[in-house]
């Protein structure tokens, strides 16, 4: 009986974590192919000026990637803290470009909108694409509608105070001159990234 349960657990583990599939997905991005060479020395984490803010360190993220923990990696905040300073890349004895790995993870997370950071980043990007600039009211309303519409009720009192002090406007946002060109830039980047 115990052997049958152990075999069932093994099948569940294989279905839940498919390291080869996740590595294959990441291999589609340039500069990410050396993840397999990581020897878990921790130089990336020690070099990162923001690792103390991250829930999982860069070293831990590579470990999770190699274990096939796709959902957990994409739910992590680590990729959103990466400043792309390349300190980790310069110091990595295996030549792994952790900044490129973080970029790839952000791109995949945006496609799947796995966490609030990804949802906010996507909403922010959509707002700038739409108007050529930031419009705070539109950003917050769209972000709340995308993630938790009931949060708008909580924000009501703050919104009213901001309106009263002239810090927020309910006017319909208007695109800036040149907003179409900014939209074209977004389209070109999406084309270069393969429709990301």
Q: State which of 96, 111, 126 marks the end of a domain.
A: 111
Q: Are residues 24 and 38 in the same domain?
A: yes
Say which residues have a Cβ less than 8 Å from residue 71's Cβ, sequence separation at least 6: 114
State residue 99's pLDDT score: 92
The candidate with the shortest Cα–Cα distance to 110, out of 100, 124, 97, is: 124
State residue 16's pLDDT score: 52
CATH of the domain at 104: 1.10.1060.10
Q: Are residues 6 and 63 in the same domain?
A: yes
The parent domain of residue 82 ranges over 2-111
State residue 13's pLDDT score: 45
State residue 138's pLDDT score: 85
- Fill in the DSSP letter of residue 51: G
Residues of the chain with pLDDT under 50: 1-2, 4-15, 196
Backbone angles phi and psi of 45, in degrees to 5:
-65, -45
The candidate with the shortest Cα–Cα distance to 115, out of 85, 158, 79, 161, is: 79
Q: State which of 79, 111, 143 marks the end of a domain.
A: 111
Q: Are residues 37 and 130 in the same domain?
A: no
Do the Cβ atoms of 104 and 88 come closer than 8 Å?
Answer: no
- A 10 A CB-CB count for 164 gives 9
């Amino acid at each position: 009986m115990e052997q049958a349960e152990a075999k069932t657990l093994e099948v569940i583990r294989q279905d839940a974590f498919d390291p080869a599939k996740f590595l294959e997905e990441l291999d589609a991005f340039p500069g990410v192919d050396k993840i397999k060479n990581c020897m878990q020395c921790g130089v990336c984490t020690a070099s990162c000026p923001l690792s103390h803010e991250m829930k999982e360190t860069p070293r831990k993220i590579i470990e999770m990637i190699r274990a096939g923990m796709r959902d957990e990696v994409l739910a992590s905040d680590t990729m959103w803290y990466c400043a792309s300073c390349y300190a980790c890349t310069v110091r990595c004895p295996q030549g792994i470009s952790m900044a490129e790995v973080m970029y790839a993870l952000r791109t995949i997370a945006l496609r799947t909108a796995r966490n609030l950071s990804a949802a906010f980043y996507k909403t922010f990007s959509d707002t700038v694409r739409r108007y050529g600039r930031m419009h705070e009211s539109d950003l917050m309303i769209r972000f709340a509608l995308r993630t938790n519409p009931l949060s708008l009720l909580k924000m009501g009192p703050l919104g009213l105070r901001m309106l009263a002090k002239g810090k927020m406007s309910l006017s319909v946002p208007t695109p800036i001159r040149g907003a179409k060109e900014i939209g074209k830039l977004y389209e070109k980047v999406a084309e270069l990234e393969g429709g990301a």
